[in-house]
Amino acid sequence: MPLINIDALPVREIFPGLRARLIHTDRVSHSWVEVAAGAPFPEHHHPHEQIVTVLDGELELVVDGTTHRLTPGLVFVIPPGVRHSGRGVTACKVLDAFAPVRDDYR
Amino acid sequence: MPLINIDALPVREIFPGLRARLIHTDRVSHSWVEVAAGAPFPEHHHPHEQIVTVLDGELELVVDGTTHRLTPGLVFVIPPGVRHSGRGVTACKVLDAFAPVRDDYR
């Protein structure tokens, strides 16, 4: 898999308005997500840790009941099992790095 | 550690001209690297897998003897133990995602 063109990966709509392109290795999954302006994603949780990196735009992230606003340069680490939800404040690009691999996204 | 301001993290010069800011979780390390224009980094290898994501600028990456040019939108997955080197073609910003954790960078 070594050299990957993100734009050439298939798109998976993980929630309405959230278009993800996914890379899986043996240990992690990286999900490149385009979030539409205003698009919400519902509260959920999973056993994977998740590092949320906003690359462009602004993302609202609610983690365990506390609301955060993420812009480029701010990163949020969601521990395994912690409930979270959110929405695109603007259209935004987000890199979600999961460990271990999201087998449910393969 | 949940909300992290990358710019507020201490800088570690991992090679001359490569300034890294590091996030460690239980499973991975994310290294935000500013590479100076022209700065080389020598061939090395490690038991961690490494996902190289160029966020800005252009990076030359030589993996197992083959040269690649990375720009935003291109990602390279270096498997564990594979030798690699490179240089900043321009000043560039790179996110290196390692798994497991780089204990040598703590």
pLDDT, tens digit, 9 for 90 and up, residues B50-95: 999 999 999 999 999 999 999 999 999 999 999 999 999 999 999 9
CA–CA min distance B75, chain A (Å): 5
What is the residue-wise DSSP string for B12-41? EEEETTEEEEEEE-SS-EEEEEEE-TT-EE
pLDDT tens track for B14-38: 999 999 999 999 999 999 999 999 9
Residue A86 clears pLDDT 60, i.e. is over it: yes
State the pLDDT at residue B67.
97
pLDDT band at A35 (very low <50, low <70, confident <90, very high): very high
Interface test with A, best of B7, B24, B25, B34 (most A CBs within 10 A): B25
**Residue B4 to residue A78, Cβ atoms within 8 A:** no
Using the 8-state DSSP alphabet, how is residue B65 labeled? T
Q: What is the pTM of this model?
A: 0.96
- pLDDT at site A82: 97
> Binning pLDDT at 50, 70 and 90, where does residue A62 land?
very high
d(CA B56, CA B46): 25
Q: Does B51 touch chain A (CB under 8 A)?
A: yes
Triad A105, B69, B33: Cα angle to 5°: 75
Chain A residues with CB under 8 Å of B77 CB are 1-2, 4, 23, 25
d(CA A2, nearest CA chain B) in Å: 5
> Edge-to-edge, what's the strand order for the sheet holding A40-44?
A40-44, A84-88, A59-63, A66-70
pLDDT of residue A61 exceeding 90, the answer is yes
Q: Give the pLDDT of residue B70.
A: 98
Residue of A5, A21, A22, A27 best to disrupt the B interface, most CBs of B under 10 A: A27
Distance (Å) from the C-alpha of residue A54 to the closest C-alpha of chain B?
11
Confidence of residue A80 (pLDDT cuts 50, 70, 90): very high
Tell me the one-letter amino acid at A76: F
Instruction: Kindly state whether B62 is in contact with chain A, defined as any CB-CB distance less than 8 angstroms.
Output: no
Distance from CA of A6 to the nearest CA of B (A): 5
ipTM value for the complex: 0.95
Yes or no: say if A63 and A69 are a contact pair by the CB < 8 Å rule: no
